[in-house]
Amino acid sequence: MNILGIESSCDETASAVYTDKGLQSNVIASQTVHEQYGGVVPELASRAHHKTIWSTVQQSLEEAGTSLDKIDAVAVTQGPGLMGSLLVGLCFAKGLCLSRDIPIIGVNHMDAHIYANFIEGQPEYPFVSLTVSGGHTQLVYVESPFEHTLLGQTRDDAAGEAFDKIGKILGLPYPAGPEIDERSKKGDPQFHDFPQAMLDNDFEFSFSGLKTSVMYYLEDKEDPEAFLAEHLNDICASVARAITEVLIKKLRNAVVHTGVQTITLAGGVSANSMLRQKAKALARQKDLQLFIPHIAYCTDNAAMIAITGHMMARRGLFSDMNLKPFASLKQAVS
């Protein structure tokens, strides 16, 4: 079974090939046009996908040493994501499938983040996945392949969204998550005790108040610019501590609640070094198996779409040509 995976949910145009022998290629075309706006501009994102999707697919096939003639099915991100971006990838995938008379597989982007852990590992079921990205923060109980129970999620901002919004307040370039992570390594996490919300709720998250707290904290200084210039690394470390401690506390709650022996991290924020360190510490404390994807498979990529498609194809979970994109998880059909 040779699967071509296509990802275009936001601002990364990606294509990958996954076969019975494993991942054969993973190509990502990143968009830089959004940096000047401090966030992703949907219309510009969809236009950029139009320009790069065919060349990205071609490159993934070449790197895999294969061709469209040897592809058995196309797996494509169906949602959630930006509607315009999703439509580019979905329409392109439908065109390929119709021209080659091969099946299509609509993939839930959030499911794919979870199954990215299977690219290089084999987590044992059941397990709990902490899925943290720019758009979502979730705790998911995975009983068996594609049998999921949502334990809890964010009530407002996602963890990655909080990093980016706080980064904008701090004057950091978009996306701010990686920059905050690097600066945190040089700062003092105990410099300031930023609030940790909803600790009395086992599985729900809230991060919108954190960015407000950072803003008021800086505004209260006599010379905010000078203070920020002197203590930027410390503030980044303190922000990272506030976010990651909440994430790990909730993950610990989920482990106790479900009794699982395996936990996974998933999504772009799982690349955060402080979160990884704390997850490893939790695994040691609770004698758990921990799986974290390689950095390349944490942020949006097509490898996770391709392996999820491969797992779905083995179970006969194909879609039809009427499948439509969904912008949010509330609109998901599965």
What does each C-alpha distance from 193 to 44, 123, 215, 241 come to in angstroms? Answer: 38, 35, 14, 9
Q: Which of 267, 322, 333, 308 is nearest to 74 (CA)?
A: 308
What Rg value do the Cα atoms of the chain yield, rounded? 20
Q: Do domains 3-114+297-331 and 123-292 have the same CATH topology?
A: yes
Identify the pLDDT of residue 45: 85
CATH of span 3-114+297-331:
3.30.420.40
In the annotated binding site for substrate, the residues are 131-135, 164, 177, 181, 272
Which class for 293: exposed (0-12), middle (13-18), buried (19 or more C-beta within 10 A)? Answer: buried
The sign of the dihedral angle between the CA atoms of 280, 269, 78, 26 is negative
Identify the pLDDT of residue 34: 67
Identify the pLDDT of residue 121: 96
Q: For the chain, how many residues are written?
A: 334
**What number of other Cβ atoms are within 10 A of residue 234's Cβ?**
18
Identify the pLDDT of residue 333: 46
Enclosing H/E stretch for 76: strand 73-79
Identify the pLDDT of residue 11: 86
Pick the CATH number of 123-292 from 3.40.50.1000, 3.40.50.300, 3.40.640.10, 3.30.420.40: 3.30.420.40
In the annotated binding site, the residues are 109, 113, 131-135, 164, 177, 181, 272, 300
**Positions of the chain with pLDDT lower than 70, given as ranges:** 32-34, 37, 330-334
Identify the pLDDT of residue 223: 96
In the annotated binding site for Fe cation, the residues are 109, 113, 300
Identify the pLDDT of residue 118: 98
Do the bridges between strand 22-30 and strand 127-132 make them parallel or antiparallel, or are there none, so unpaired? unpaired
Any idea where the domains of the chain sit in the sequence? Answer: 3-114+297-331, 123-292
Express each pLDDT in 151-160 by its tens digit: 999 999 999 9
Q: What is the pTM of this model?
A: 0.94
Identify the pLDDT of residue 37: 67
Enclosing H/E stretch for 53: helix 42-64
What does each C-alpha distance from 299 to 130, 177, 294 come to in angstroms? Answer: 14, 11, 10
